[in-house]
A and B are shown apart, each in its own frame.
Chain A
């Protein structure tokens, strides 16, 4: 029997039981739609993370405090207090290829203006930070070196902080309170949006490092250091130079591990996209379970169909159908069910991912890979779960089948 007529035949037998065929397909429809929508969310998140990380600039190196061991006890990342502002100055001065190095201290604090208050991230930095991290000013100015040296109580605000504290009032020149200390607002930064990790980067306040260290935190170390290399080419040498210099300055004996860690943006992007890849796989894996459940539904209905149509099978065998003709007929029916379901599911998956990005505001990305994969998987499900019922039909004895009531 030709494949074309087998195909036409299967379409006809499926259309005889429209409701049943549709309900059988529903499992596959939901499965494929779920796979496509989930993968589009995962890939959208990945693309957004990658775009934002690469917007940080490819020649940025960030130094974090590392672990330390005291009396055999190892503390976690970021717990050392050995990183200082003079380390940053030494890096800028002594390592060739370094454009600027900006130390910073971050803390969370309640910021008050008039009767409004807002909890936000407060950074103590130096003026170079604005250049290294590529922040533009929306209005006013950044604090300068004199203010840094003098520990002046001046602040530069992010857009979100302005929105939350100053309703219709220009913030420039106003006095805000950070940990009950008055600060004069000298500038507002242009918005940057969310970071690759979903944090609102405009929800921040910047003050001079010295003010932060002496008056707010009472510390002498820094918690981060942002280093801009002159270009992306020299990054490996700069990283190596930082390692050697900081080991020497922190007097770390050979064989002991660093009390700081040096990351460049490419490393961070790598780690972030690896974790979103895992998330995509996880989502796709969960969604495929429903595809398999849909396949079991197909197998169930095909088994019922074979029993119901035993007499038809007997008639076909009597007029000369071979077992493989019967098998092909039922297999094609199962594959048509799963492929038509897969196609409807694909359309619904695309629509669903659009809706998710419109309604929930999540970035989604539909790749042709995920569509091809979902369709191929649904065809495979049809073949796999259709094979047993089809073989059962093919193995029927013509005499018994003809006698079946």
Chain B
């Protein structure tokens, strides 16, 4: 049931206009992004592809509000977030973005449930409510039976499912996944991708999938290919 980008009734959830990002490394200027423009509609599952050094990580950091562009505009859910303060960006990450990382990034020696609860700690939700929401999110990824386990007691696939539950617990408008299967074997990778695709199709979640693997990008409805800080291809996915 492939959705064509144009068939979505939703408005743009992300619009990026002429995004630049420049760093200074010692004496040298590094142009990581040199004018990137694209948009993502609500309910899309977009793959961002590129080899390492292409600028896709920089783009991901900006899309995830972890970093700010040097130039250009970034509208997330109708709000220009390109020049917001650090604290305002933290609030946006907390409310609108869910992250799934390659290396899971769960807190060690902390139970699965508490890991899922983490974003809610920073959103002033009453404790009983955040506990209930976290249990629901864990149930969604099929791990409610393992909520007391610490990350070291979980398999890679289970850890990534905990991370997905954590990304969903705040009901974000955007799910950002950065090589979500990079540390997993191919069977578990497919499990994780099926969960993500299910979230996209059944709940209409907007998902950005950053990957360098063609196989993985096929799960997306559209793919953007980045090279040397610019988009060289914007089109068909699965």
Question: Which residues does A use to contact B, with CB under 8 Å?
Answer: 1-2, 5, 16, 311-312, 314-325, 398-399, 402
Contact = CB atoms under 8 A, between A and B. Distances in A.
B107 A319 contact: no
B66 A398 contact: yes
A315 B107 contact: yes
A20 to B, nearest CB: 15
Interface in B166-202: 166, 170
The listed residue with most B CB atoms (<10 A of its CB), out of A1, A319, A321, is A319
Interface string B64-85: 1011000000000000000000
B91 A311 contact: no
Given A320-B90, A322-B90, 16 more contacts: A315-B106, A315-B107, A316-B118, A318-B64, A318-B66, A318-B99, A319-B93, A319-B122, A320-B119, A321-B90, A322-B86, A324-B87, A325-B122, A399-B66, A399-B67, A402-B66
Contact of B109 (A16, A311, A321, A325): A16
A319 B99 contact: yes
B52 interface: no
Contact of A319 (B67, B87, B108, B166): B166
A33 to B, nearest CB: 32
A318 B86 contact: no
**Interface size for chain B: under 10, 10 to 19, 20 to 34, or 35 or more residues?**
20 to 34
A325 B124 CA distance: 12
Contacts of A323: 86-87, 90
B122 A312 contact: no
A311 B118 contact: no
Interface of A is mostly: helix
B232 interface: no
Given A318-B64, A319-B93, A319-B94, A402 B105 contact: yes
Contacts of A5: 121, 127
B37 interface: no
A322 B107 contact: no
Interface in B93-130: 93-95, 99, 101, 105-109, 118-119, 121-124, 127
B61 interface: yes
B214 to A, nearest CB: 25
A397 to B, nearest CB: 8
Given A399-B66, A402-B105, A318 B124 contact: no
Contacts of A320: 90-91, 93-95, 119, 122-123, 170
B141 to A, nearest CB: 17
Interface in B19-33: none
Nearest to A16: B109
A322 B66 contact: no
A399 B121 contact: no
19 contacts: A1-B124, A5-B127, A315-B107, A316-B118, A317-B90, A317-B93, A318-B66, A318-B93, A319-B119, A320-B123, A320-B170, A322-B86, A322-B91, A322-B122, A324-B87, A325-B122, A398-B66, A399-B61, A399-B67
